[in-house]
Amino acid sequence: MPHAPAPARRRSAVLTTLALASATALTVTGVTGVTGVTGVTGVIGVIGSEDRARAEDAPTQADITVAQDGSGDFTTVQAAIDAIPADNTTPVAIDVAPGTYRELVTIPDNKPHISTWGTSGSATFKADADDFRAGNLTFANDFDEIEHADQEDHQAVALRTRGDRIVLDNVIVTGDQDTLLLDSDDRYVQKRVHITGSTIQGNVDFVFGSATAVITDSVIEVTRRPDGSSSGYVTAPSTALDFPGFLITDSTITGDVDDGTYSLGRPWHAGGDAALDPQTTIRDTELSAAVMDAPWTDMSGFSWRDDRFAEHHNSGPGSGPAGDDRPQLTDEQAAEQEADDWLGDWAPYE
């Protein structure tokens, strides 16, 4: 049986961003940003000592504090990040006091070792540096597809990571299309992500990118499209041949949608790159009736059968026996597709 997802912890501070969608949506190979005005709302902040997640890994106190009332070092999150020297070599903790923060947040790739520990957090958040850790945050993008139906592109990323050794613990990542981009600035350079005790919500390719990622003890919630229809895809990996892709384990895939309307994934050959070998493995996970009987789908002329998609020991009404449309790992194969195999010499909590 799959492990029960970690319970949600207390959240209180709020980060609200209102900006042009072209500024908040992300542009990656094969995906374009949108234009027009949209609101992106949510929360980010510091947790209390009584419920600090992974306290043994967190800095003992804040190096920088953010408080909108002026009682901290800075009044905006981005100003705090901007104040950190480039190429810093030691962990920096940013604590954000409860309040409402209207801003876009970007952690550039030359500022590694930044931690944000919070009651919750939200905005289009770009974590491009190595060793970024986030806990007890909510990252959200509420781009309104119906309001902007005349626009050609509707991608709306809530969180993008491009660094290596990224840890997301007890976060909520919520959006519609392309919610969570786990990526690299060079898809042939491996970047690793570990997500635990979290909730990820969306409907179209809402876990996607070229990173090597382990998602464990989490809830993946499929949602209806903005027009109320029920269809979509959970993962869209764009993995390079030599790297593992997405491993979802000991989790739950569920949602208040029609039965048999959601695919577990499809291969994203970003930019039409035929040399990629996208991979998603889903194992020891409870699948709701939302999942299709034939759960893998082709994409942009590339067949999922030519890439790496498989299940192992899943349960629930959306699970099914091995067949041509439903590859299942043998026990021997599964022994080589565990978290340690994905993450190599990196142990996220050591």
Nearest of 212, 134, 146 to residue 173 by alpha carbon? 134
Nearest of 309, 233, 235, 307 to residue 276 by alpha carbon? 307
Percentage of the chain lying above the pLDDT 90 cut: 50
Eight-state DSSP code of residue 129: S
List all residues 6 or more positions away from 336 whose beta carbon is below 8 Å from its beta carbon: none
Query: What average pLDDT does range 46-53 have in this prediction?
Result: 26
Which residues on adjacent β-strands are paired with residue 159? 125, 180
pLDDT at residue 222 in the model = 97
- Catalytic residues, by residue number, are 178, 205
Q: Which amino acid appears at position 73 of this protein?
A: D
3-state class of 82 per DSSP? helix
pTM beyond cutoff 0.85: no
Percentage of the chain lying above the pLDDT 70 cut: 73
Contact 192, 170 (CB under 8 A): no
Higher pLDDT pick, 5 / 81? 81
Distance CA 166, CA 180 (A): 13
pLDDT at residue 58 in the model = 37
Backbone dihedral angles phi then psi of residue 315, each to the nearest 5 degrees: -135, 175
Residue 30 has pLDDT above 60, yes or no: no
Nearest of 189, 124, 123, 190 to residue 346 by alpha carbon? 190
Distance CA 187, CA 104 (A): 25
Which residues on adjacent β-strands are paired with residue 114? 92
Distance CA 235, CA 266 (A): 6
Distance CA 324, CA 160 (A): 34
Q: What angle do CA 88, 109, 123 make, to 5 degrees?
A: 110
**Distances 346 to 90, 150, 194, 339, 341 between C-alpha atoms, Å:** 17, 45, 10, 10, 10
pLDDT bracket for residue 110 (50, 70, 90): confident
Average pLDDT, the chain: 78
Residue 206 has pLDDT above 50, yes or no: yes
Higher pLDDT pick, 186 / 13? 186
pLDDT tens, 81-90? 898 888 888 8
pLDDT bracket for residue 119 (50, 70, 90): very low
